[in-house]
Amino acid sequence: MGSGLGKLWAQKGHHVFFSFSRDPKKLAALAESSPGCRAGTPAEAVAASEVVLLSTVWAAVEEALKAAGEIKDKIVIDCTNPLKPDLSGLAVGTTTSAGEEVAKLIPYSRVVKAFNTVFAEIYHSETRLFGSRRPTMFFCGDDARAKSTVSALANEIGFEPIDAGTLACARYLEPLAMLMIQLGHKQGLGTNIALSLIHR
Ligand SMILES: NC(=O)c1ccc[n+]([C@@H]2O[C@H](COP(=O)([O-])OP(=O)(O)OC[C@H]3O[C@@H](n4cnc5c(N)ncnc54)[C@H](OP(=O)(O)O)[C@@H]3O)[C@@H](O)[C@H]2O)c1
């Protein structure tokens, strides 16, 4: 998720800082593959950035946030899905969500849930288009300006952004991602699928 999205934003001229790998060489190679990119520690990445993408497996979220130090006055995009280790379901939900739990860990930041309902394969594809249609990118959060920034970041890499509401709506977006996993992995549709909302 991090490498796919980071490369897409780098192509659009953003300065991307790749971080949080157990293999620093992997991060350095990633940074070298796109112009204007860097690699370093989570604390360095956060200090250098206006927007932070949290894209770790659920079990490593606390470790990653701890390694980042104090995250203050940043927009934090949470694309995690709180999957159980065997992928059989969500470890949290209904009365809270990963998005809300992340926000509790970094109370001085503005958390926006986004990018969690789209498979990583789509970010690594040549194009986001399915025929002439852009996939929908649902996002939610409690800060209007942060959501506007995230909406623009989704739009510029080829998605149709749809504001799903407050951060508590992550309670709906995370099960939606679970539906995609069910369709892609259990029902045999594969991961080159995406959601598109129809309006009239
Ligand atoms: N994959 C998808 O299609 C998809 C779609 C939507 C949402 N998501 C969500 O996005 C998040 C990231 O997914 P992903 O597929 O990008 O996962 P991933 O490929 O496993 O990437 C996780 C990253 O965290 C790093 N990491 C550092 N310390 C770690 C540790 N102790 N344990 C595990 N990883 C550690 C890994 O780096 P090293 O391995 O180099 O150490 C890796 O770069 C997850 O919460 C997932 O549910 C995934």
- pLDDT tens for each residue of 52-62: 999 999 999 99
Q: Which residues of 18-51 are buried (b: 16+ CB within 10 A; e: fewer)?
A: bbbeeeeeebeebbeebeebbbbbbeebbeebeb
- Ramachandran angles phi, psi of 113, nearest 5°: -85, 125
pLDDT digits (tens, 9 = 90+) for 7-49: 999 999 999 999 999 998 999 999 999 889 999 999 999 999 9
Write down the domain spans for the chain.
2-186
**Residue minimizing CA distance to atom 20 of ligand 1:** 57
147 C-alpha vs ligand 1 centroid, how far in Å? 23
**Residue minimizing CA distance to atom 37 of ligand 1:** 21
190 C-alpha vs ligand 1 centroid, how far in Å? 19
Which of 54, 56, 92 gets mutated to test ligand 1 (max ligand atoms within 8 A of its CB)? 56
Give me the pLDDT at residue 166, please. Answer: 98
Give me the pLDDT at residue 28, please. Answer: 95
Percentages helix, strand, coil for the chain, rounded to the nearest 5?
A: 40, 15, 40
Threshold 0.75, pTM exceeds: yes
* Ligand 1 surroundings by CB, under 6 angstroms: 1-2, 20-23, 26, 55-58, 60, 63, 79-81, 83, 116, 119-120, 177
**Residue minimizing CA distance to atom 47 of ligand 1:** 81
Q: Name the band, by pLDDT with cuts 50, 70 and 90, for residue 87.
A: confident
**Residue minimizing CA distance to atom 25 of ligand 1:** 21
- What's the rounded mean pLDDT across residues 167-171? 98
**Measured distance CA(17)–CA(19) in Å, rounded:** 6
pLDDT digits (tens, 9 = 90+) for 183-198: 999 999 999 999 999 9
Overall CATH class of domain 2-186: alpha beta
- What's the rounded mean pLDDT across residues 158-165? 98
198 C-alpha vs ligand 1 centroid, how far in Å? 31
Res. 82: pLDDT tops 90: yes
pLDDT digits (tens, 9 = 90+) for 98-142: 999 999 999 999 999 999 999 999 999 999 999 999 999 999 999
116 C-alpha vs ligand 1 centroid, how far in Å? 12
Helix (H) or strand (E) holding 125: none
58: helix, strand or coil: helix
Give me the pLDDT at residue 120, please. Answer: 98
